[in-house]
Amino acid sequence: MRRIASPASALLLALALAHNAAAEPALLSASSDEPRAFGYTVGDVVTRRVALQVPAGLKLDEDSLPRAGTRGRALELQRVVLHRSLGGVPEALQFDYQVFLAPREVRVLEMPPIELRFDGVPRPQTLRIDAWPVTVAPLAPVEASPREGLGEMRPDREPPRLDTGATRARLALEAGAALLLLGYLANVYLVLPWAAQRRRPFGRAWKLLGALPAQPDATQRRAAFERVHAALNEAAGEVLFEPGLERFLTRRPRFAPLRDDFVRFFADSRSEFFAGGSDAFDARWLVAFCRRCRDLERGAA
């Protein structure tokens, strides 16, 4: 009887232990995969991963998670990633911190502790993830070596040399084009008017008559008439007398408004050269007549 009861008792004992184990609720816990605690400088990103064991009936209060962008004096939380299982149960957390401290010597910093809240049954619970230290080193030593290139002050760097060949060629072409344009404008507005003025016979004659006195003598009168006749002959392209006046005005219609003045000029000239002239000769009229011819000659009147 004792030998038969022993196996039955063992079986009953095993079933009782299994029942007790199943009835005991699972515990809320976390395990951290901590980063290395050394070898960081300003700008580095330090990643901390936490695996969660969340029993059924509990739900993570996401408001208890630290917010990305939270910045301390040395570390800034850049990103928070929550990984869930297919059933929506939180499985892991990832925290990415960036170092913003550039110390002058090695400093020990702490990734801050995190306290997570869980709601549900059998009761709300909290889970604390302890702080983790990391060391941050300076980018350069406080006192650099006095060797060439390592001191605190370095010589100025020579500016880079740029190839200006294309720019100089373009400027040369533009300068050449500008000179050609200036030459053309000078020719149109300076040379041609000056040359044309020298070729205008009445213009030259009027300049010479400018020295004629108000009461010229016979020699001065004849010289004045000769100058006007020479200008008229040059403008007509032939020796012009009164019978050829209409033919001249037909070829040079710009002088047509002075038909009566031309008739008077030929009458005074005939009187001067063939009738002995007159002391009552109006020298101012002759000068004014030559000026009107000059104006019509250059198109100014």
Q: Report the mean per-residue pLDDT for the chain.
A: 81
Q: pLDDT tens digits, residue range 51-92?
A: 888 888 888 888 888 988 887 778 999 899 988 888 778 888
* Region 295-301 average pLDDT: 70
Question: What pLDDT is attached to residue 99?
Answer: 93
Q: How many domains does the chain have?
A: 2
The verdict on 112 and 206 lying in the same domain is no
Q: pTM for the full model? A: 0.42
- Which one has a higher pLDDT value, 53 or 197? 53
| C-alpha torsion sign, points 25, 27, 28, 30 | negative
Which of 114, 136, 158 finishes a domain? 136
**Do residue 202 and residue 285 come from a single domain?**
yes
For residue 212, tell me if it sits in a domain: yes
Q: How far is Cα 80 from Cα 37, in angstroms, rounded to an integer?
A: 20
User: pLDDT category, 156, cuts 50, 70, 90?
Assistant: confident
The 3-state DSSP class for residue 38 equals coil
Contacts of residue 103, Cβ cutoff 8 Å, sequence gap at least 6: 136, 137, 138
- Residue 252 lies inside a defined structural domain of this protein: yes
pLDDT the model gives residue 21 = 41
User: Range of 39's domain?
Assistant: 26-136
